[in-house]
Structure 1
Amino acid sequence: MLLTENENHINYQRIEEAIQYLEKNFQRQPELDEIAEKVHLSPFHFQRIFTEWAGISPKRFLQFLTVDFLKTKLEQSRNLVEAAEAAGLSSQSRVYDLFTTLEGVTPQEYKLHGTGIHVRYGLHETPFGICLLGTTERGICWLSFLATDEDPKTQIEAMKEHWHNSVFHQDQTLTATFVERIFNPVASSQTGRLHVFVKGTNFQLKVWEALLKIPMGNVLTYQGIAEKIQNPNALQAVGSAVGSNHIAYLIPCHRVIRKDGILGEYRWDPVRKKSIIGWEMAKVKQP
């Protein structure tokens, strides 16, 4: 059962506050005591919860979010994706650590706006705050993050609007198993692939499939995605498709950044995007 005062949720809010404070004061490199005071924790407690969350210290974490580092990462990511594609489709899952497959609704289902589809959903804690997850027999069909103090009904209504002729049932037990697999890459790799079931245009599906090929801990530009779908002039359309993704994190639209190394906007809050990218990079760097 979801608890509004869950300790994990409170900890993530403090981590977000710390990341924002570190960024604003990056030039003068604030000490741990100062950051901890800002988020109303003792230095020891703050260091502990941040290290448990990210696996590294706050200062090292912030290094992953600097413009210079991200520019270098863009080049590395582009080369990695190209090398994987040259190796052939059969080896992609191993190279990308890819455990997600994508299926789109049929044209007839698209016209019917979800008629005949049964969606089971639940609200759960994640490393990035509370999420709403919806799933059908054909795969996960919705994943969104709640803003701080947001009424869950807002996200539930957004999900129902997207699949508005479907039948909805809350099922915390079922959705909890998916949340564990999504945010625990080891668990996911040991239990087979996750499937996502999406409603979108053919162009959007091409973009979302390209997003699935960005390895964890890496980033690409909007231009890079446009080139991957062989439509290099469709930057604005690519940006729109990335922004309309309705399965957060699992279809990793957070891994798309601007070519100047700026992380840019994110449907579920730009600070959360920074948190996710830094967290993923930290996990990949761990032995």
Structure 2
Amino acid sequence: MNDHQDLNAYRWQILASRTRNPQYPFCYAVVTTGIVCRPGCPSRLPNPENVRFFDNCQDALKAGYRPCKRCHPLDDNKEPSELVVRVCRQIERDPDQANLNTLASVLGYTPAHLQKTFRQQIGITPFDYARALRQQRIYRELGHSRSNTDALLQAGYQSSSQFYTEFKQFSSLPPGSHRQSGKGEILTFAVADTTLGALVVAASDKGLCWISLGDDPHAQVEELQRHFARAEFCPPDEAFNQWVSQVTGLVEAPGERLSIPLDIRGTVFQRQVWEALRKIPMGSTMDYQALADKIGKPGGARAVASACAANVLAVAIPCHRIVRRDGSLSGYRWGVERKADLLAREKGQGMGN
């Protein structure tokens, strides 16, 4: 083994051990996401064959990689404070005891101070962090457990009602179907840049099955891999890159139409909602109740909202066109600011036509 191989073996050992500040600093890039991180990044450990090591992040940037927005490899001043780290560890030990008052009491801070500090540095509340943690665990457990009941208990849920309520908010498939999600499939995926953030696109042999927008492509790819827990993923070819270009064009100019087949997966009701969403004219909006009425489910406004939240094909299924009854913007899986921007772009294009 030569010196270069010895060095890379040492660096992989540091990376795998989650050491945050190694004696000899370095950065690592993940080929499949195009992201550069530093040791100790909270993202999932990548496969060794997808990792490239660099002496410094500047070299990685020159090679075309982008800095991770979770570990901020270019800015040592963005390390989470000791308080935030303690909050995360406490939640990880027991996500179901992650209510604000309990955390504040255990850690010796006021609830207001703890909430403000955590949200300023992480961007979400402790409650949101705990829910995301349960989400990761349920995806993992669904792939290994023999039943939904075993999976929800192993993931830390105290009741089936809590589990099913939360699961509907982040998955378009029922839990039983998700346990087999992606089994035997080969999905092609790619990451691209847009003016609305990182774009992650994936497709099966039937068509596009995933489009997400966000600020952290590394985390977005992880979400994709969790959603299709049993699928095999492969890099894009030239034909798929043309599909990605079309989706990028749709983000930048919402008036464009996709000439790409969609592999839409969901319940009968969800598909009904998503089909109705695709019929809302560009530049127009509709509230949840109006959409429920349109599909013949006048008492189903809440179910419509859940179906919109479970959509995994951003812009292709335009759930951003759904607003509250008073016209104000409601939640959006990929961020309310992006929702506002998409609507503004559509309105501008409509006026220009």
Is residue 270 from structure 1 mapped to residue 322 from structure 2 by the alignment? no
Q: Is the 8 A contact 1:118 1:168 kept in 2?
A: yes
Contact 1:109 1:115 in 2 (8 A): no
CA distance in 1, matches of 2:244, 2:349: 18
Identify if the C-alpha distance between structure 1 residues 159 and 5 changes in structure 2 by more than 3 Å, giving closer, same or farther. Answer: closer
Q: 1:156 aligns with which of 178, 198, 221?
A: 221
State the alpha-carbon separation in 2 of the partners of residues 279 and 241 from structure 1.
24
- d(CA) in 2 for partners of 1:5, 1:111: 33
Say whether the 8 Å CA contact 1:133–1:175 is kept in structure 2.
no
Deviations 1:193-247 (A, max 9, x none): 3221122111111111111111111111111211122111011111011011001
Larger relative contact order (Cα-Cα within 8 Å, sequence gap ≥ 6): 1
Contact 2:190-2:244 within 8 A present in 1 as well: no
| Stretches of structure 2 lacking an aligned partner (at least 5 in a row) | 1-32, 35-63, 68-171
The verdict on how the C-alpha distance between 1:180 and 1:259 changes in structure 2, with shifts beyond 3 A counting, is same
Unaligned runs of 5+ residues in structure 1 are: 7-103
> Relative to structure 2, which stretch is displaced further, 200-209 or 169-178?
169-178
- Given that 1:123 and 1:172 are in contact with CA atoms closer than 8 Å, whether structure 2 keeps it comes out as no
2:205 pairs, out of 137, 140, 151, with 137
Alpha carbons 1:220, 1:256 under 8 Å: kept: yes
The aligned residue for residue 270 of structure 2 is 204
8 Å contact 2:211–2:312 — kept in the other structure? yes
1:130 to partner: Cα distance = 1.4
Structure 2 counterpart of 1:226: 292
Indicate the residue corresponding to 1:285 in structure 2: 351
Q: Contact 2:189–2:201 at 8 Å: present in 1 too?
A: yes
Paired residue type of 1:159 = L
What value does the CA root-mean-square deviation take over the aligned residues? 2.8
Q: Distance in 1 between matches of 2:66 and 2:228?
A: 30
Match 1:235 to one of 278, 296, 301: 301
Aligned counterparts of 1:274 and 1:161: Cα–Cα separation in 2: 28
Is 1:168 paired with 2:233? yes
The structure with the larger Rg is 2
1:216 to 282, 306, 314: 282
Aligned equivalent of 2:17: none
What's the TM-score once normalised by structure 2's chain length? 0.47
